[in-house]
Amino acid sequence: MIDAETHLYAVLGNPVRHSLSPALHNGAFRRMGLNAVYLAFEVQNLPEAIAGIRGLGIRGVSVTIPFKAEIISLLDEVDETARKIKAVNTILNRDGRLIGYNTDWSGAIEALEQKVRLEGKRVLLLGAGGAARAIGYGLKRRRAEILLCNRSLQKGKALAEEIGCAWKPLSAAKDFEADLLINATSVGMHPYGRVSPVPKAILRQGMTVMDIVYRPLRTRLLRETE
């Protein structure tokens, strides 16, 4: 029941109407018996939204596209890992101090580790945006051997140098015999869901494939692994 004691949590993004975060968090609150509610806010002006978190005492906030980098300079404190990844996706309001964290990398790495041991694995990482940076950082921490491939060469090279891994153009991805393939691009996302970022011939027996695109849940890339 929502009453005067209910705590508010939120996700800030734009666009944000597709977000699964309210369904996930409200479901978890219910199951845990917490008197809390989680809403999605489509934000136009980020500093005003941050003032709103402080002013209303919103307990915790998720941050999504396009604010993950911009928000860093507006917080009171940013955890060291989030600072390295240059992205905050989670804010904790601790007695009025807003502290930024990044859980994108640990979420992805924990999901992968349920399937494979990452140390020494040959990983083909597609993309050079924020998602690729977070996952690449996590893979590096787990001592995987990474080849980063991206459509735009400049962005690919810059991120590979930042992470400290090899890189090639996307068209060269097919020559790398990977144990693990991770799509960290937006290719395959609704409403352009009929495409895959790589040709099917790249997929090999025994390869583990992860797609960060979750709409549709079964992307063309994942369907082609069957």
Q: How far is the CB of 199 from ligand ATR (least distance, A)?
A: 13
The rounded distance, in Å, linking the Cα atoms of 149 and 169 is 5
CB-nearer residue toward ligand ATR: 36 or 85: 85
Determine if residue 16 is left, alpha or beta; phi over 0 gives left, psi from -120 to 50 gives alpha, anything else beta.
Answer: alpha
Quick check: 196 binds ligand ATR (CB under 6 A)? no
CB-nearer residue toward ligand ATR: 93 or 183: 183
Contact region with ligand ATR (CB under 6 A), list: 38-46, 101-109, 182-190, 215-223: 182-190
Quick check: 155 binds ligand ATR (CB under 6 A)? yes
The 8-class DSSP code of residue 202 comes to G
Site string for ligand ATR, 22-61 (x = CB under 6 A): ----------------------------------------
The 8-class DSSP code of residue 20 comes to S
Q: How far is the CB of 151 from ligand ATR (least distance, A)?
A: 3
DSSP collapsed to 3 states, 43-101:
CCCHHHHHHHHHHHCCCEEEECCCCCCHHHHHCCEECHHHHHHCCCCEEEEECCEEEEE
Binding test (CB under 6 A) with ligand ATR, winner from 128, 144, 181, 202 = 128
191 preceded by a cis bond (ω within 30 of 0) = yes
CB-nearer residue toward ligand ATR: 28 or 111: 111
Phi, psi torsion values for 122, nearest 5 degrees? -90, 115
Return residues touching ligand ATR (CB under 6 A).
Answer: 127-132, 150-152, 155, 185-187, 197
